């Protein structure tokens, strides 16, 4: 994957997320749905910024769990993903079934 394209894509994700978050910051007294949405956006922003940081360090596209390269198809869908498909699946199973690992 072309690093410049990836950076542009991540910067765009960052800007749109920041703009979406700004809409919440002017509203006092958010309801539960709005609070959840705001938290989702904040989490996404952190992930996007972390991905930009990894890109700058030259370790973008490697799974944080097992170190394997994340497939380009997966990065194309979620450019800020931290995990390869296998680790993501394992993590989701652990969260859904904490006693079955």
- Region from 15-23, 24-32, 36-44, 79-87 binding Zn ion, contact rule CB under 5 A: 79-87
Phi-psi region of 12 (alpha: psi -120 to 50; beta: other; left: phi over 0): alpha
DSSP 54-86: HHHHT-TTB-TTT-PBPPHHHHHH-TT--S-HH
Q: Which is nearer to Zn ion, 43 or 67 (CB)?
A: 67
- Region from 5-13, 26-34, 40-48, 86-94 binding Zn ion, contact rule CB under 5 A: 86-94
In whole angstroms, the minimum distance from the beta carbon of 64 to Zn ion comes to 8
Q: Which is nearer to Zn ion, 48 or 63 (CB)?
A: 63
Which residues, 46 to 75, sit near Zn ion by CB under 5 A? 63, 65-66
Q: How far is CA 13 from CA 28, 29, 60, in A?
A: 25, 26, 16
Binding site for Zn ion (CB under 5 A): 63, 65-66, 84, 87
């Amino acid at each position: 994957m072309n690093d410049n394209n990836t950076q542009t894509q991540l910067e765009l994700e960052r800007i749109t997320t920041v703009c979406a978050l700004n809409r919440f910051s002017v509203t006092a007294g958010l309801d539960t749905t709005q609070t959840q949405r705001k938290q989702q956006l904040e989490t996404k922003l952190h992930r996007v910024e972390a991905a930009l940081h990894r890109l700058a360090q030259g370790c973008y596209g490697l799974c944080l769990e097992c170190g394997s390269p994340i497939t380009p198809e997966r990065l194309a869908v979620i450019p800020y993903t931290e995990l390869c498909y296998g680790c993501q699946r394992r993590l989701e199973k652990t969260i859904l079934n904490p006693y079955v690992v």
